[in-house]
């Protein structure tokens, strides 16, 4: 069976270091940085290559700082979630 592998990109200048994504990640992929961004906040960084692309981190981020990708082995990387400025209820379905 094809194996899914995830990846994320964090916009560190939008991150305020609230750590919600770190708490929400079931794979312990994220930690808080040791350095600060231009606004003076510690920011979330990927520290393990364990991401499955579950999208939890992007869903909980209040600043829309995380973009999630997922790659099925042998296929191209595919954009899964980019969530910005959510102002009302939303439904997100991930997977096939």
83 binds ligand SF4 per the rule CB under 6 A: no
Minimum separation from the CB atom of position 1 to ligand SF4 (A): 19
CA atoms within 13 A on the CB side of 75: 12
Length of the chain: 96
Name the one range near ligand SF4 by CB under 6 A: 24-32, 71-79, 88-96. Answer: 24-32
Token couple for 58:
């992007």
Minimum separation from the CB atom of position 69 to ligand SF4 (A): 9
Q: Cα 82 to the chain's mean position, in Å?
A: 9
13 binds ligand SF4 per the rule CB under 6 A: no
Q: What are phi and psi of 95, to 5 degrees?
A: 100, -170
Binding site for ligand SF4 (CB under 6 A): 6, 8, 10, 15-21, 24-25, 27, 29-30, 43-44, 51-57, 60-61, 63, 65-66, 68
């Amino acid at each position: 069976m094809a194996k899914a592998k995830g990846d994320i990109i964090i916009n560190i200048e939008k991150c305020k270091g609230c750590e919600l994504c770190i708490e929400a990640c079931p794979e312990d992929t994220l930690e808080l940085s040791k350095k600060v961004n231009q606004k003076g906040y510690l920011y979330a960084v990927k520290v393990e290559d364990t991401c499955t692309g579950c999208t939890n981190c992007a869903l909980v981020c209040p600043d829309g700082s995380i973009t999630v990708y997922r790659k099925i082995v042998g296929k191209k990387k595919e954009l899964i979630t980019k969530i910005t400025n959510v102002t009302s209820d939303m439904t997100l379905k991930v997977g096939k």
